[in-house]
Amino acid sequence: MPDSPRPFRIGFLAAAAVTVYGAVTGRDSFQRAAKPLLMPLLAADVVTSPASLDSTDRRVLLGSLAAATVGDVLLIEPDDDRRLVVGASFFAVMQSGYSALWLRRGARPTAANAVPRVVAWLGAAALLRGRAPSVAAPLTAYGATLGTAAVLASDPALAPGANQIAGLNVPGPDPRSRLGLGALLFTVSDGLIVVRRLFARTERSRRIAEGVILGTYAAAQYLLADPRAHAKTPR
């Protein structure tokens, strides 16, 4: 049988489109109206989903989305370093929540998944220390929580029936198989925040970069917060 309509996820896609449009065009009012709706819409989908989530998993997932909501509001102004740092702390809470969910599902770090992320984390930390020392320490700490979540989400054990390439699950019908892609998109999004912060010099380049950041972020959350990916029975 086909899946039932999921109006809150459809609403999320609409709000994400408005948010990205507002960022690219410089219409802050669009972002202020739509971006705070993103995570609450995904949370509403979790609450109304028929997926058989464990009560603890449901609470952790909703808590992670609540923390992300605060981070989203703070980062509506991405060029304010104080808001960036505080926002990163809320996203660290979210990443820790996701990590807890995947640990409860049996995910464990593997060398193949961990090594490249550690190398990327060290590179980003060195770049921040050299180019943006005022935010280097808190963003590097956040990067550790991001990397931990990404390593766990990429563990093939989360979706044992999925096809694999180079030890990673290929996204398929099983929502659990898409967690690795979601974590990769999240890593790309956050990596672009660093690139934008350090290298985007013109207003146009900052707007375009922010649009890509928000687009990849929304896609990541769409995959990672799917309650079916955290359910006892994924279908």
3-state secondary structure 127-190: HHHHHCHHHHHHHHHHHHHHHHHHHHHCCHHHCCCCCEECCEECCCCCHHHHHHHHHHHHHHHH
**pLDDT for residue 231:** 85
Residues whose CB falls within 8 Å of the CB of residue 43, separated by 6 or more in sequence, listed in order: 62, 65, 66
CA angle, residues 199, 143, 16, in degrees to nearest 5? 70
**pLDDT for residue 1:** 40
**pLDDT for residue 162:** 87
Encode pLDDT of 136-161 as tens digits.
999 999 999 999 999 999 998 898 88
> Is 235 a member of any domain?
no
> Is 19 a member of any domain?
yes
Residues whose CB falls within 8 Å of the CB of residue 1, separated by 6 or more in sequence, listed in order: none
> Is 152 a member of any domain?
yes
| Angstrom distance (rounded) from CA 58 to CA 114 | 27
Kindly report the backbone phi and psi dihedral angles of residue 169, in degrees, each rounded to the nearest multiple of 5, phi listed first.
-70, 140
Using the Cα atoms of residue 143, residue 195, residue 184 and residue 63 in order, give the sign of their dihedral: positive
> Is 99 a member of any domain?
yes
**pLDDT for residue 183:** 94
> Is 145 a member of any domain?
yes
**pLDDT for residue 235:** 53
Domain count within the chain: 1
Of 51, 58, 23, nearest in space to 38 by CA: 23
Residues whose CB falls within 8 Å of the CB of residue 112, separated by 6 or more in sequence, listed in order: 166, 167
**pLDDT for residue 163:** 87
- Distances 128 to 7, 60, 188, 197 between C-alpha atoms, Å: 40, 31, 16, 10
Single pTM value for the model: 0.92
**pLDDT for residue 234:** 54
> Is 190 a member of any domain?
yes
> Is 1 a member of any domain?
no
> Is 110 a member of any domain?
yes
Residues whose CB falls within 8 Å of the CB of residue 224, separated by 6 or more in sequence, listed in order: 98, 153, 179, 182, 183, 186
| Angstrom distance (rounded) from CA 103 to CA 20 | 32
Q: Domain limits at 188?
A: 7-230
| Segments in the chain below pLDDT 70 | 1-3, 233-235
